[in-house]
Amino acid sequence: MSIPLHTTISETLRSQIEAGDYSPGEKLPSEHQLMATFDVSRITARRAIANLVHQGLAHTQRGKGAFVTSKQKVAYSLSSPLVFLEQDLAQKGVHLSFENLMFREEIPSKQTCAILQLTGQANIYVQKKLLQMDGAAGAVDISYLLSELGQRFAAQLPNNMTFPILEKNNIPIEHISALIECTQADYEMSNYLEVPLGHPLMVYRYTAYSSHHRPILHGETISRGDRFCYVLNTQR
Amino acid sequence: MSIPLHTTISETLRSQIEAGDYSPGEKLPSEHQLMATFDVSRITARRAIANLVHQGLAHTQRGKGAFVTSKQKVAYSLSSPLVFLEQDLAQKGVHLSFENLMFREEIPSKQTCAILQLTGQANIYVQKKLLQMDGAAGAVDISYLLSELGQRFAAQLPNNMTFPILEKNNIPIEHISALIECTQADYEMSNYLEVPLGHPLMVYRYTAYSSHHRPILHGETISRGDRFCYVLNTQR
DNA sequence: AGATTCGACTTGTTATAACAAGTAAGTCAT
DNA sequence: ATGACTTACTTGTTATAACAAGTCGAATCT
């Protein structure tokens, strides 16, 4: 069984990257250079570069070229006691900032009603924030908050992360139930996070409970898989 | 600014998938059908399908066609008390089996030495297993075990998961330190896990400690991002 | 009834080609 | 020194084309 040409070329380039011939951030040969070097068509050269992009080893920019990706993940701790994202990243020398994309009251979906244990005709507040790490888009946080809390802190929430505001106002989070999965960037997320379509994303889907096991906040943090990871410790 | 044709087509197909026009497992229109429907070249039709594949919405098979992916993730619990993978999945009606790919003694890397706190010229046992869920490849587990444990349980370990063997032999795991990240499948992993190149994978990288905080096992479980997720509960 | 073959359909690979759109460096005018 | 313009290089989009390799169902043979 023969190996496709585009695979041969991309594996050659990968070996060169891994051997240190190309450093993170360094420009890879252009499509024309690859055509000449390997005596192939442009479509084959492009496919080889696309293979590297699909493996997260390179990224391309129209008019500029293809570059080796810079690998630098920030680890967020999931262990007890809860540490807030901003503080956790600040300890690691990463500046977290964010852009408020949405903050409004709306009718919750049935699923959100179930998760937040809402009765009657209660509304919720939905927030959407684009989190930037050292100025570069890193994650999108979408969350749903009990209406009474959304109203109460409407002035503060669009400009702050939610957990610290609750903490400051004597609404401490006692317990978080969460799921971690990875997905692939669709067009919406690829635009927000400045990644190619299909880029791996980590989703931290959480429900936060205050005292008496009351769910008050539900949401998900969708972060770039190449920029973010989670660490945790489990005791018997 | 105009939207590329291939994006228009793939977004149309995506809407149809999400509207239920195509059920999970159902065949999508062939490239020729898309060419006729949208009056485009084959390369544009192929690119539209590739967009869906990159988003995890479809998968293709040469000679057969393109199919809507079946979304079914298995959640593995990371919470205390530790539950072993086999039992956890069995409770969810998923049969876990595995194929032993490697079990041998070797000289550890410097990194593995540091993690397992090895002194002198100690060796370790490396194991590689392909985990199958209901017969389909779901994860690859690669782990490094203290040499004395590898030797002692050499007959049992290739045919069993490691944690239960240690438990049965009074070497209980007291604490696990772990990192969760996602990556993209390279050629090796795409072959093992039967996914396209670049498919998102979840990596659970762990170090397990026995009594007296002694690290005895280090490894990583690399699982298909479309088949697997983690759930956890965090208390204050 | 089962095995084999064949034809049609399907995706995968590789080629040539033209034009669009973005970037960067050099040149020129102010 | 700065801004505008030009040129060259780069990736992105879309087209046509041919052949390879896999799948499936129908027809034929044993």
Q: Provide the pLDDT for residue A76.
A: 85
The predicted model gives A194-220 an average pLDDT of: 91
Whether residue B181 and residue A202 make contact (CB cut-off 8 A), yes or no, is yes
Cα A111 versus chain centre, distance = 23
CA distance, residue B172 to nearest chain A CA (Å)? 9
DSSP state of A194: T
Q: In which band, very low, low, confident or very high, does the pLDDT at A83 lie, cut at 50, 70 and 90? A: low
Burial degree of A61 (CB within 10 A; 0-12, 13-18, 19+): exposed
Q: Determine phi and psi for B2, rounding to 5 degrees.
A: -95, 155
The CB density around residue B159, as the number of other CB atoms within 10 Å, is 11
Domains B5-68 and B74-231 share a fold: no
A182 touches chain B (CB under 8 A): yes
- Residue-level length of chain B: 236
Residue of B180, B183, B229 to mutate, testing the A interface (most A Cβ within 10 Å of its Cβ): B180
Q: Strand D footprint at Cβ < 7 Å?
A: A 1-2, 28, 30-33, 43, 46, 49, 60-66; B 4-7, 39-44, 47, 61-64
Picking from B53, B73, B174, the nearest residue to A181 by CB comes out as B73
Picking from B73, B175, B181, the nearest residue to A234 by CB comes out as B175
The distance (Å) linking the CA of B139 with the C1' of D2 is 59
Which runs of E-coded beta strand occur in A73-197?
74-77, 96-106, 124-133, 136-146, 175-184
Residue A152 identity: R
Q: Which two tokens stand for residue B83?
A: 């539950």
Closest CA to A81 of A203, A167, A159: A167
pLDDT tens-place values along chain B, 236 residues long: 589 999 999 999 999 999 999 999 999 999 999 999 999 999 999 999 999 999 999 999 999 999 999 878 888 888 755 567 777 778 778 888 888 999 999 999 999 999 999 987 889 999 999 998 888 889 999 999 999 999 999 999 998 888 889 988 999 888 889 999 999 999 899 989 989 999 999 999 999 998 888 899 999 999 999 988 998 888 76
Q: What is the DSSP string of chain B?
A: -PPPHHHHHHHHHHHHHHTTSS-TTPBPPPHHHHHHHHT--HHHHHHHHHHHHHTTSEEEETTTEEEEPP--PEEEE-PSSP--HHHHHHHTT--EEEEEEEEEEEPPPHHHHHHHT--TT--EEEEEEEEEETTEEEEEEEEEEEHHHHHHTTTTGGGS-HHHHHHHTT----EEEEEEEEEE--HHHHHHHT--TT-EEEEEEEEEEEGGGEEEEEEEEEEETTTEEEEEEEE-
Distance between CA atoms of residues A157 and A172, nearest Å: 16
Q: Provide the pLDDT for residue A136.
A: 84
CA distance, residue B236 to nearest chain A CA (Å)? 5
Whether residue B183 and residue A73 make contact (CB cut-off 8 A), yes or no, is no
In this complex, the nucleotide whose C1' atom is nearest to the CA atom of residue A59 is D11
Whether residue A201 and residue B201 make contact (CB cut-off 8 A), yes or no, is no
The predicted model gives A160-187 an average pLDDT of: 90
Q: Strand C footprint at Cβ < 7 Å?
A: A 4-7, 39-44, 47, 61-64; B 1-2, 28, 30-33, 43, 46, 49, 60-66
DSSP state of A120: T
Whether residue B181 and residue A225 make contact (CB cut-off 8 A), yes or no, is yes
Domain spans, chain A: 5-68, 74-231
Beta bridge mates, A192: none
Using a CB-CB cut-off of 8 Å, the residues of chain A touching B88 are none
Chain D: positions less than 7 Å from a protein CB are 9-18, 20-24
A81 touches chain B (CB under 8 A): yes
Contacts of residue B87, defined as CB under 8 A and 6 or more positions apart, other chains included, come to: none
Whether residue B187 and residue A228 make contact (CB cut-off 8 A), yes or no, is no
Whether residue A179 and residue B55 make contact (CB cut-off 8 A), yes or no, is no
Q: Provide the pLDDT for residue B81.
A: 53
Q: Determine phi and psi for A13, rounding to 5 degrees.
A: -65, -35
Using a CB-CB cut-off of 8 Å, the residues of chain B touching A202 are 180-182
Please report the ipTM that was assigned to this predicted complex.
Answer: 0.86
Closest CA to B227 of B188, B199, B189: B199
**Structure confidence by residue, pLDDT tens digits, A14-41:** 999 999 999 999 999 999 999 999 999 9
Whether residue A231 and residue B178 make contact (CB cut-off 8 A), yes or no, is yes
Q: Provide the pLDDT for residue A173.
A: 86
Picking from B7, B78, B182, the nearest residue to A234 by CB comes out as B78
Contact B236, A81 (CB under 8 A): yes
Contacts of residue A42, defined as CB under 8 A and 6 or more positions apart, other chains included, come to: A31, A32, A35
Query: For the domain bounded by B74-231, which CATH number is listed?
Result: 3.40.1410.10
B83 touches chain A (CB under 8 A): no
B181 touches chain A (CB under 8 A): yes
Distance between CA atoms of residues A189 and A125, nearest Å: 21
Q: Provide the pLDDT for residue B92.
A: 79
Give B89 or A148, the one with higher predicted confidence.
A148
Residue of A84, A92, A182, A222 to mutate, testing the B interface (most B Cβ within 10 Å of its Cβ): A182
Distance between CA atoms of residues A204 and B64, nearest Å: 36
Side-chain-side CA neighbours of A230 within 13 Å: the count stands at: 29
B84 touches chain A (CB under 8 A): no
The CATH fold of domain A5-68: Arc Repressor Mutant, subunit A (1.10.10)
Picking from B80, B183, B198, the nearest residue to A234 by CB comes out as B80
Number of helical H runs and strand E runs in chain A: 8, 10
Q: Which two tokens stand for residue B119?
A: 């002194």
Residue of A51, A80, A180, A183 to mutate, testing the B interface (most B Cβ within 10 Å of its Cβ): A180
Residues 153-172 of A with CB under 8 A from B: 172
